[in-house]
Amino acid sequence: MSVRRAVVADAGELARLRQLSLTCPAVPWTRPREVLDGPWVEECQEAIATMLRDQNAVAAFVVDVGPGHIGACAMGLLLPRLPGPSSGKPFNGDISTVATDLEFRGRGYARAVVTALMDWMVASGCKGISLASSPEGEPLYASLGFAYDDPRMSWRAR
């Protein structure tokens, strides 16, 4: 298996895998969600292509499993942060869209792409990295040192 950094031409496969990643069970984490096709998938592909053009702020790492077929991916953004007394590092990292195609699970692909993404984020100057885990992803993230960060609050537009 080899891991490579994604390029703009991978946006279609990354959008497909984003759709797959969204099927993970939602709170209360009972059963997989149905994620419908729709214009959002194409919009997502376009958004990913645009984001991947900014190699300094966004990266995705992938494992190829065939011509034009990506078997696993992890995508992440660098979010600027202000210096504070404990760190002057310029970014926090945000990981999203971690998914492995069903037939390629359990081979270490997700670990490989997430680790490559984390290495890139740390080398880019991230103080911390956050993500929203699924139950399927939790053992992987826990083994890589992620822990729940209770005091944070968040807001969602409806």
Selected range binding ligand COA among 5-13, 40-48, 51-59, 135-143, rule: CB under 6 A: 135-143
Q: Residue 96 corresponds to which amino acid?
A: S
Find the DSSP H helices in the chain.
Answer: 11-21, 39-52, 109-124, 138-143
**CA–CA gap between residue 58 and residue 76 (Å, rounded):** 6
Query: Under the criterion CB under 6 A, does residue 133 sit at the interface with ligand COA?
Result: yes
Query: Under the criterion CB under 6 A, does residue 24 sit at the interface with ligand COA?
Result: yes
End-to-end Cα separation, the chain, in angstroms:
41
Give the count of alpha carbons within 13 A of 119, CB side only.
10
In whole angstroms, how close is the CB of 133 to ligand COA at the nearest point? 5
Q: Using the rule CB under 6 A, which residue among 5, 41, 64, 108 binds ligand COA? A: 108
Q: Using the rule CB under 6 A, which residue among 70, 73, 78, 110 binds ligand COA? A: 110
DSSP state of 154: -
x-marked contacts with ligand COA along 30-69 as a string, rule CB under 6 A? ----------------------------------------
Return phi, psi of residue 78, to 5°.
Answer: -95, 120
In whole angstroms, how close is the CB of 78 to ligand COA at the nearest point? 18
**CA–CA gap between residue 57 and residue 25 (Å, rounded):** 29
In whole angstroms, how close is the CB of 121 to ligand COA at the nearest point? 15
Q: By the criterion CB under 6 A, which residues form the site for ligand COA?
A: 21, 24, 72, 98-100, 105-111, 131, 133-134, 136-137, 139-140, 143
